[in-house]
Amino acid sequence: MLPASWRDAVTAFAIKAFISASRPGFALASQRTTVTAVSLIVISVPVLICLSLPKLTIPPPSLNSHFMTLAANVLKPRKQPVQARSSVTLDILHVAAIQVLKSEGLDGCTTTRVAERAGVSVGSLYQYYPNRDALLAGVLNRHLEEVTDAIENVCREHEGKGLDELGRRLVSAFLAVKFADPAAAKVLYEVAGERGGPQKVARAQQQITGAIAHALETASDGRLGQPHLISGIAFNAIVGPVHAVLEGNMPETALPLLEAELTRLVGSYFATVWST
């Protein structure tokens, strides 16, 4: 905002320029004078308008909140499907994204390549996702929802049942959804390390361990102390070897034995904490 003395000076200049340019014969002196007159009018009118506007006080935004909102908007899908046709298009985009990730890796996965693989225009893709990061966030969300739904279904089905059966089904369900497509599991694990991925995984894990804790509380073997702590330890005991396979620290040839070994591990843990 200009100081008051400056505003008064500019106002006086603008008024004089406007009055001078409006005098009869002022624009007739020469072509040069005419140009000057027009220029003064062009300058004076906007100045007068701006100076007549009330002063606006805009509080400075919080830098952190600005960037948090910007990051959330970048990863947010443009729209959610409300019709069956839209849902099918979204499914096709997710499948195409995983196929491109498997064949070309994270660096080669672009919106153009995904649209080509899906058989749609890039414009159609942008109706759902504003950029590649938002698309990958949507694909990861879908995968985490599948994992969460699988575990929650097991927990609902085994309310009031024995711990041994609960442990066996938790291992089986988790491995089934994670390794339905081992190549896809690996690229999704890589995507989970990108922006916003760890937070999404943490929220999903919190939901999963909450469901397991509830199933533990209703187990027919008897009530366990600290069910949330026990559920977190048991679930991470399952997740750890799976991550080792996805990171290449354990050979894929171990997968056929993984379910039996994890079932033994979780079953023994449940039996130990129940007996104590």
Measured between alpha carbons, how far is 96 from 208 in angstroms, rounded to an integer?
A: 28
Percent of the chain at pLDDT > 70 equals 68
Do both 42 and 154 map to the same domain?
Answer: no
167 within some domain: yes
Do both 25 and 141 map to the same domain?
Answer: no
64 within some domain: no
Do both 17 and 137 map to the same domain?
Answer: no
Do both 129 and 240 map to the same domain?
Answer: yes
- More reliable by pLDDT, 189 or 8: 189
pLDDT tens per residue across span 241-261: 999 999 999 998 888 899 999
Q: Where are the alpha helices (DSSP H) in 158-254?
A: 163-178, 182-191, 197-217, 227-246
Q: Which of 52, 69, 84 is the last residue of a domain?
A: 52
92 within some domain: no
pLDDT tens per residue across span 68-113: 343 444 445 555 554 545 678 899 999 999 999 999 999 999 999 9
Do both 172 and 239 map to the same domain?
Answer: yes
Domain region containing 122? 104-275
Give the count of domains, the chain: 2
Are 111 and 131 in contact, with CB atoms under 8 Å apart?
yes
Other Cβ atoms less than 10 A from the Cβ of 215: the count is 24
pLDDT tens per residue across span 197-254: 999 999 999 999 999 999 999 998 877 789 999 999 999 999 999 999 999 999 988 8
199 within some domain: yes
- pLDDT score recorded for residue 276: 61
Nearest CA-CA partner of 213 in 193, 199, 233, 194: 233
Check which CATH number belongs to the domain holding 200 and give it. Answer: 1.10.357.10
Do both 111 and 44 map to the same domain?
Answer: no
Measured between alpha carbons, how far is 175 from 248 in angstroms, rounded to an integer?
A: 16
Is residue 13 scored above 80 in pLDDT?
A: no
Do both 223 and 147 map to the same domain?
Answer: yes
- pLDDT score recorded for residue 208: 98
93 within some domain: no
Q: What is the arithmetic mean of pLDDT over 152-162?
A: 94
Is residue 59 scored above 50 in pLDDT?
A: no
79 within some domain: no
81 within some domain: no
Is residue 58 scored above 70 in pLDDT?
A: no
Is residue 268 scored above 80 in pLDDT?
A: yes
Mean pLDDT, the chain, integer: 78
222 within some domain: yes
Do both 114 and 16 map to the same domain?
Answer: no
